[in-house]
Structure 1
Amino acid sequence: MSRELPGPNLASIAEAAGVSVPTVSKVVNGRGGVSDETRERIQSLIAEAGYRSPRTRRLRTGNRTMVDLVIGEVRNGYSVGVLNGILEHARAVDADVVISSVNPGSMHLTDADEWAERMVDSGRQGLIAVTSDLSSSQHDAFTSRGLPVVVIDPLNTPPADLPSVGSTNWAGGRAATEHLLRLGHRRIAFLGGPANAECNQARMHGYLAALMAAGIPMRADYLYDGPGFAPAGGLANARAVLDLDDPPTAIFAASDTIALGVLDEARRRGLEVPRDLSIVGFDGTPLAEQTLPQLTSVAQPLHDIGRTALRTLLQLIAGGSADVPRMELATELVVRDSTAAPRVQSRPRASSK
């Protein structure tokens, strides 16, 4: 009589065989490094469980690879840029991308298990998560079923074995601040996004490093976090910092969308950008060229980030490994019309009241 298994996934097969999940994954994906005796035992358990790997489904349905993509709203330039990079590479390699509306941050582990099972059942072979806070237990829910995961700009620090793709956020934050310092600004505020977002922290630390190198003390009243990378947060925080008795002459916003809110608040106060206030954004999205004045911004290689993430995922699906666990692509400061030297005379504070 066949033994009962707790469920047809790699973790249950590994437990029944008395081996690790990576060992089962090697057998499932036809890789070496497993003794003949162990391989036969695992293959027997796989047959008993009726487990069908993503690789098996691909062989049954053709050579096209199908992957899941979790991304938030695709209305902002950041998401559109990353998505276009993923889709561009998918077309080049004849892969299919399924966009999911699942929010990992609101999921319980059982939800992740169900999601992973649905992916296996539908033949999807891996997952790309964009700006998500994927937990270690959620990650395990996918890898235990032979579903590799790659994250783009994770909100939290990813597990050591979870490949991630992003940009040189720290270097970009430093470059933005050094640009303002070279123009002569000394009162520079940082208006960020979510405090726990890894990319936000890196951009802020780059800003602080530039100030420290220039011998300018950090001012706590010039540092603001926001609920998200959105214009509303930029507007509210700009209102607060510009109401100070000695407001900044320049603001480094952690995203182009935050900078848009800063521009709106400056315009509402009658401040001229960059004559009265210089502003630098981050992301280098098309939005930066559509504002008035056009926005100086630290450009991320968004298309390349998307392409790199999908290429890495496909390497993992094929049984390979990521080139490096954490991939950071270079940023570039693009100077436009929203930054200039500060006015010689101190400008009057325009109250929001």
Structure 2
Amino acid sequence: MISMKELAQHCGVSVATVSKALNDQNDIGESTKNKIKKAAVKLGYYPNAAARSLKTNRSYNIGVLFVDEANSGLTHEYFAAVLEGFKVEAEKQGYDITFINRQIGTQKVSYYDHCKYRNVDGVVIACVNFDNPEVIDLLAGDIPVVTVDHIHENCSSVLSDNIKGIQSLMEYVYENGHRRIAYIHGQMNTAVTKARLTSYYRFMESNDLHIPDRYVLEADYLDVSQAMAYTRELLDRKDPPTCILYPDDTALIGGLNEIRARNLRVPEDISIVGYDGSRISQLLNPKLTTIRQDTAAIGMQAAKKLISTIEKPKTTFTEQIIVEGELLKGESVGKANI
């Protein structure tokens, strides 16, 4: 890695001219500017982070607040993929990433204080309890924030199109003759679940489909044992469903285990659908019918929006960015046997 002075000597210009070229100032010619930029790339020049921070009053460091209630951490396939998309775009625009927590060494601190300690320019918040007072304080503070899969009035959010996702699943299930459609959904305290559940009820209502009591059940996301228990309850009914929707592809495995324990076949005896389009969903036998969420696009859009909010606060709107998913028809939905 070379210094700015060495880059200037190589190009036969002053250090000031190099600085102006690399900062896209208009008082030098385009040919000179392009020559310096090409030389910087060729010779491996990178601006000193401390110097750049002093000049721009930014750290070029973004905080990531990710607290998974299921304690799966970065093995959480959906959010890990979203964060990878976020990381790729942030690094492309010259930003580093720091994970935010409640601790500095052995000292307990708030999320907000940790952000201040790390001097982050902004924070992306994903997969947390948004009713947590510390999260509320961070959202109400002076640090730019973008949320993933959660809507908050103080900041922009990036969300998968959960309404359209459930609608697409329901339409496909309905086209295959299913009318007794049960739904084991995720926790009700999330915007994701509320959107999906509303879409389910709306579809059932618009098609004049009756929903028996206890056909709609709440389970934790990624919880295989709860999904298994509720599948058992549904299958023990006098009017069991012909199709069951699950909160995610992982939880669905619990339902699949219960179905097979009864010597029932998917999809010949009962149909099942998941959500997320995880890698495992297409490795199972049969392949799952599910919604593949565009995790790379969700992460990329979150990074773009947050960096725009950091760099152009006066001209960046607070908005909800919706990213569409894709219906994977798989092999787990068959013709209804009614």
TM-score, with structure 1 as normaliser: 0.72
| Contact 1:142 1:148 (C-alpha < 8 Å) held by counterparts | no
What is the letter of the counterpart of residue 327 of structure 2?
Answer: L
In 2, the alpha carbon distance for the partners of 1:118 and 1:192 equals: 34
| Contact 1:235 1:262 (C-alpha < 8 Å) held by counterparts | yes
CA deviation vs aligned residue, 1:76-122 (integer Å, no higher than 9, x gap):
3212211211121123212111123559xxxxxxx87x432332232
Confirm or deny that 1:129 pairs with 2:125.
Answer: yes
In 1, the alpha carbon distance for the partners of 2:81 and 2:123 equals: 18
How far has the Cα of 1:130 moved from its partner? 0.7
Confirm or deny that 1:298 pairs with 2:291.
Answer: yes
Partner residue in 2 for 1:65: 60
Greater mean deviation of Cα atoms: 230-239 or 60-69: 60-69
How far has the Cα of 1:145 moved from its partner? 5.6
What is the letter of the counterpart of residue 274 of structure 2?
Answer: G
- Could you say what the CA RMSD is over the residues aligned between the two structures, in angstroms? 2.7
In 2, the alpha carbon distance for the partners of 1:178 and 1:102 equals: 44
How far has the Cα of 1:272 moved from its partner? 0.8
How far has the Cα of 1:331 moved from its partner? 2.1
Confirm or deny that 1:332 pairs with 2:326.
Answer: yes
What is the letter of the counterpart of residue 76 of structure 2?
Answer: N
In 2, the alpha carbon distance for the partners of 1:333 and 1:144 equals: 37
2:302 to 300, 309, 319: 309
Greater mean deviation of Cα atoms: 302-311 or 220-229: 220-229
Partner residue in 2 for 1:206: 199
Partner residue in 1 for 2:337: 343
1:152 to 128, 148, 151: 148
| Contact 1:163 1:322 (C-alpha < 8 Å) held by counterparts | no
| Contact 2:65 2:126 (C-alpha < 8 Å) held by counterparts | yes
TM-score, with structure 2 as normaliser: 0.75
In 2, the alpha carbon distance for the partners of 1:81 and 1:280 equals: 21
Counting only pairs closer than 5 Å after superposition, residues 102-117 of structure 1 correspond to structure 2 as 114-117=110-113
How far has the Cα of 1:324 moved from its partner? 4.6
| Count of residue pairs the alignment pairs up | 279
What is the letter of the counterpart of residue 78 of structure 1?
Answer: Y
How far has the Cα of 1:307 moved from its partner? 1.0
Partner residue in 1 for 2:265: 272
Partner residue in 2 for 1:219: 212
| Contact 2:130 2:136 (C-alpha < 8 Å) held by counterparts | no
In 1, the alpha carbon distance for the partners of 2:212 and 2:281 equals: 27
How far has the Cα of 1:313 moved from its partner? 1.0
Partner residue in 1 for 2:6: none
In 2, the alpha carbon distance for the partners of 1:69 and 1:283 equals: 22
How far has the Cα of 1:144 moved from its partner? 6.6
How far has the Cα of 1:176 moved from its partner? 0.8
CA deviation vs aligned residue, 1:116-154 (integer Å, no higher than 9, x gap):
233223221211111223359646644676311111112
In 2, the alpha carbon distance for the partners of 1:327 and 1:82 equals: 14
In 1, the alpha carbon distance for the partners of 2:288 and 2:209 equals: 25
What is the letter of the counterpart of residue 331 of structure 2?
Answer: D
Partner residue in 1 for 2:40: none
Instruction: Give 5+ residue unaligned stretches, structure 1.
Output: 1-54, 104-110, 345-353
SS of equivalent residue, structure 1 residue 337: coil
CA deviation vs aligned residue, 1:206-234 (integer Å, no higher than 9, x gap):
11111112211222321000133322221
In 2, the alpha carbon distance for the partners of 1:136 and 1:180 equals: 37
Partner residue in 2 for 1:11: none
| Contact 2:124 2:306 (C-alpha < 8 Å) held by counterparts | yes
Confirm or deny that 1:170 pairs with 2:159.
Answer: no
How far has the Cα of 1:317 moved from its partner? 1.2
SS of equivalent residue, structure 1 residue 166: strand
What is the letter of the counterpart of residue 290 of structure 2?
Answer: S
Structure 1 residues 287, 102: CA separation in 2 closer, same or farther (over 3 Å shift)? Answer: farther
In 2, the alpha carbon distance for the partners of 1:340 and 1:245 equals: 21
SS of equivalent residue, structure 2 residue 155: coil
Partner residue in 2 for 1:95: 95
2:185 to 167, 170, 192: 192
Counting only pairs closer than 5 Å after superposition, residues 2-17 of structure 1 correspond to structure 2 as none
| Contact 1:139 1:149 (C-alpha < 8 Å) held by counterparts | no
In 1, the alpha carbon distance for the partners of 2:316 and 2:235 equals: 45
| Contact 2:111 2:134 (C-alpha < 8 Å) held by counterparts | no
Partner residue in 1 for 2:10: none
CA deviation vs aligned residue, 1:251-308 (integer Å, no higher than 9, x gap):
1112112222211211222111111111111111212112111111012111111111
Partner residue in 2 for 1:254: 247
| Contact 2:293 2:326 (C-alpha < 8 Å) held by counterparts | yes
| Contact 2:167 2:200 (C-alpha < 8 Å) held by counterparts | yes
| Contact 1:168 1:330 (C-alpha < 8 Å) held by counterparts | yes
How far has the Cα of 1:61 moved from its partner? 9.6
What is the letter of the counterpart of residue 228 of structure 1?
Answer: Y
